[in-house]
């Protein structure tokens, strides 16, 4: 710990930009690389190209200290000794498998610049087997460089804190001296967290890649489990919020990630479980993961159920109904709208003829770029004015804290559907609202 490491970070999306800024804040010399010149210009000027709490401050600090640089010229990485691969692995169009074109492009750019002793550190979420393939490529051009896998578990909205103080570090390294040296270098990179007692799991490349998809599959399964219980509650008159509380007290189960509602979205969980199933199929063990098909199906059913509830509340048809949607991001504290449950519900209601207006504190720009046919408003007031139905679809704190009595004066009919079980039902009912939520009486 203590000694600065010269680092390059390939890919400056949610993962790479935060990683680069966080590593510089630890005292390392960092260059972040991205093919998107507009993004590089923003980052170099100390501006966060997307909403992530705390990132702006870290970028400004990095620019001041002179330890954080950004470039779209790959030659800028030649000074670095540790190269992090942080590019995206989106779902392939029309298929479940991961699209590795950004990984392959980054590796192809990196290879000609590798020097003896360099460490290439994969952080992207990849189908198991990808790291072994990249290790071969690295070995072929520079036998004295090493490829390791070091998956990242950060959550959007908490990315800075998760990067600086992770729950655990996972190092997938080759056997022998090269692996031992790699562990020592990673311990220098993460010196602060290691000194603070962060658990480090040192394993092989294969296990390291699997850890990441296993963790995301488990989290997705937890959410879909509680949402399946919500379906049971809806059929029986039970209450899924109390059920989650009660089973969550069992420390073996735990209360976290048992929030029933619209289910999971975003750029990770949905595509990661699908890519994992696709990979299992290629490996001939698809049966091991067929349960993830159910996890995905339960998750997608919640969106349908939400639209059905909205239609029911509007007397059987959404046609011509003025509906207000609070939330567009896939979760609070993010401007990310990839696979956003909120937007898919809004779009479906709009397709069924509803007059939908959507608002979000951070995600309107991204949402309107992806969903040009939806109508967006900047303020809650504009969004709910004249509404016959209000839907809370992303639980931003400012929406949860809304005063139901005030909102009531703006709407045409005080009916609210809580898609995230986030509002206080009693308060809203006391203010004269008809309140309904997924999985509750």
Q: What are phi and psi of 355, to 5 degrees?
A: -95, 90
The C-alpha atoms of residue 110 and residue 103 are separated, in whole angstroms, by: 11
The footprint of ligand UDX on residues 308-337 (CB under 6 A) is 330-331
The distance of closest approach from Cβ of residue 150 to ligand UDX in the complex, given in angstroms and rounded to an integer, is 13
* 54 close to 161: Cβ distance less than 8 angstroms: yes
Q: What are phi and psi of 152, to 5 degrees?
A: -115, 135
Contact window for ligand UDX (CB under 6 A) among 41-49, 91-99, 149-157, 402-410: 149-157
Q: Which of 12, 86, 268, 314 is catalytic?
A: 268
Instruction: Establish if 265 lies at the interface with ligand UDX (CB under 6 A).
Output: yes
Instruction: Establish if 258 lies at the interface with ligand UDX (CB under 6 A).
Output: yes
3-state secondary structure string across 375-402: EECCCHHHHHCCCCEEEECCCCHHHHCC
Residues 6+ apart with CB under 8 A from 243: 226, 229, 233
Instruction: Establish if 414 lies at the interface with ligand UDX (CB under 6 A).
Output: no
The CA-based dihedral angle spanning residues 176, 177, 183, 185, taken in that order and rounded to the nearest 10 degrees: -160
Instruction: Establish if 124 lies at the interface with ligand UDX (CB under 6 A).
Output: no
The distance of closest approach from Cβ of residue 332 to ligand UDX in the complex, given in angstroms and rounded to an integer, is 8
Q: Which residue's CB is nearer to ligand UDX, number 168 or number 406?
A: 168
Number of residues that bind ligand UDX (CB under 6 A): 19
Among 10, 82, 114, 223, binds ligand UDX (CB under 6 A): 223
Residue 428: DSSP 8-state: H
Instruction: Establish if 16 lies at the interface with ligand UDX (CB under 6 A).
Output: no
Q: Which residue's CB is nearer to ligand UDX, number 162 or number 355?
A: 162
The distance of closest approach from Cβ of residue 300 to ligand UDX in the complex, given in angstroms and rounded to an integer, is 13
Q: Which of 418, 417, 398 lies closest to 406, judged by CA?
A: 398
The distance of closest approach from Cβ of residue 249 to ligand UDX in the complex, given in angstroms and rounded to an integer, is 16
Instruction: Establish if 437 lies at the interface with ligand UDX (CB under 6 A).
Output: no
Can 268 be counted among the known catalytic residues? yes
* 220 close to 213: Cβ distance less than 8 angstroms: no
- Binding to ligand UDX by CB under 6 A, coded x per residue (else -) over 189-218, reads ---------------------------x--
The distance of closest approach from Cβ of residue 334 to ligand UDX in the complex, given in angstroms and rounded to an integer, is 7
Instruction: Report residue 297 as tokens.
Output: 């199906």
Strands 322-326 and 389-392: parallel
- Secondary structure class of 313 (helix, strand, coil): helix
* 82 close to 9: Cβ distance less than 8 angstroms: no
Q: Which residue's CB is nearer to ligand UDX, number 46 or number 54?
A: 54
The C-alpha atoms of residue 135 and residue 148 are separated, in whole angstroms, by: 8
Instruction: Establish if 219 lies at the interface with ligand UDX (CB under 6 A).
Output: yes
The distance of closest approach from Cβ of residue 118 to ligand UDX in the complex, given in angstroms and rounded to an integer, is 26
Instruction: Report residue 309 as tokens.
Output: 């509830």
H helices within 142-258, ranges in order?
A: 159-164, 177-189, 191-195, 205-236, 240-248
Among 154, 164, 292, 309, binds ligand UDX (CB under 6 A): 154
The distance of closest approach from Cβ of residue 339 to ligand UDX in the complex, given in angstroms and rounded to an integer, is 8
Instruction: Report residue 399 as tokens.
Output: 């929406």
Q: What are phi and psi of 242, to 5 degrees?
A: -70, -35
- Secondary structure class of 173 (helix, strand, coil): coil
Instruction: Establish if 229 lies at the interface with ligand UDX (CB under 6 A).
Output: no
The C-alpha atoms of residue 254 and residue 267 are separated, in whole angstroms, by: 25
Instruction: Establish if 160 lies at the interface with ligand UDX (CB under 6 A).
Output: no
The C-alpha atoms of residue 97 and residue 104 are separated, in whole angstroms, by: 15
Contact window for ligand UDX (CB under 6 A) among 81-89, 147-155, 305-313, 383-391: 147-155
Applying CB under 6 A, the residues found at the interface with ligand UDX are 153-156, 216, 219, 223, 257-259, 261, 263-266, 268-269, 330-331
Catalytic residue positions? 268
């Amino acid at each position: 710990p203590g000694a600065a490491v010269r680092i390059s970070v390939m890919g400056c999306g949610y993962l790479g930009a935060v990683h680069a800024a966080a590593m510089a804040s630890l005292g390392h010399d960092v260059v972040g690389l991205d093919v998107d010149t507009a993004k590089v210009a923003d980052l170099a000027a100390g501006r966060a190209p997307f909403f992530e709490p705390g990132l702006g401050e870290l970028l400004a600090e990095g620019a001041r200290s002179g330890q954080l640089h950004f470039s779209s010229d790959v030659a800028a990485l030649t000074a670095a000794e540790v190269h992090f691969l942080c590019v995206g692995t989106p779902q392939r169009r029309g298929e479940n498998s991961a699209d590795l074109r950004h990984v392959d492009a980054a590796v192809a750019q990196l290879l000609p610049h590798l020097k003896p002793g360099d460490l290439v550190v994969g952080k992207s979420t990849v189908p198991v087997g990808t790291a072994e393939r990249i290790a071969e490529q690295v070995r072929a051009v520079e036998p004295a460089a090493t490829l390791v896998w070091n998956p990242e578990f950060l959550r959007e909205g908490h990315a800075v804190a998760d990067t600086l103080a992770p729950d655990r570090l996972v190092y997938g390294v080759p056997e022998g001296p090269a692996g031992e040296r790699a562990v020592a270098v990673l311990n220098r990179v993460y010196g602060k967290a290691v000194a603070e007692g962060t658990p480090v799991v040192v394993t092989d490349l294969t296990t390291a890649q699997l850890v990441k998809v296993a963790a995301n599959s488990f989290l997705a399964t937890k959410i879909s489990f509680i949402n399946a219980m919500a379906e049971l509650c809806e059929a029986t008159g039970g209450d899924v919020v109390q059920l989650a509380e009660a089973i969550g007290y069992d420390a073996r189960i735990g209360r976290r990630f048992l929030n029933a509602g619209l289910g999971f979205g975003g750029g990770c969980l949905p595509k990661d479980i699908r890519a994992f199933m696709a990979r299992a199929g290629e490996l001939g063990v698809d049966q091991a993961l067929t349960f993830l098909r159910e996890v995905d199906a339960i998750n997608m059913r919640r969106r349908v159920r939400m639209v059905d509830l909205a239609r029911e509340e509007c007397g059987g048809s959404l046609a011509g109904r003025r509906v207000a949607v609070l939330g567009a991001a896939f979760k609070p504290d993010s401007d990310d709208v990839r696979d956003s449950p909120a937007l898919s519900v809004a779009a479906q209601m709009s397709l069924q003829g509803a007059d939908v207006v959507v608002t979000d504190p951070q995600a309107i720009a991204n949402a309107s770029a992806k969903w040009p046919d939806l109508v967006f408003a900047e303020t809650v007031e504009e969004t709910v004015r004249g509404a016959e139905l209000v839907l809370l679809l992303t639980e931003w704190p400012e929406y949860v804290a809304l005063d139901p009595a005030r909102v009531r004066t703006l709407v045409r009919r005080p009916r609210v559907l809580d898609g995230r079980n986030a509002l206080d039902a009693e308060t809203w009912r006391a203010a004269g609202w008809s309140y309904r939520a997924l999985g509750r009486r």
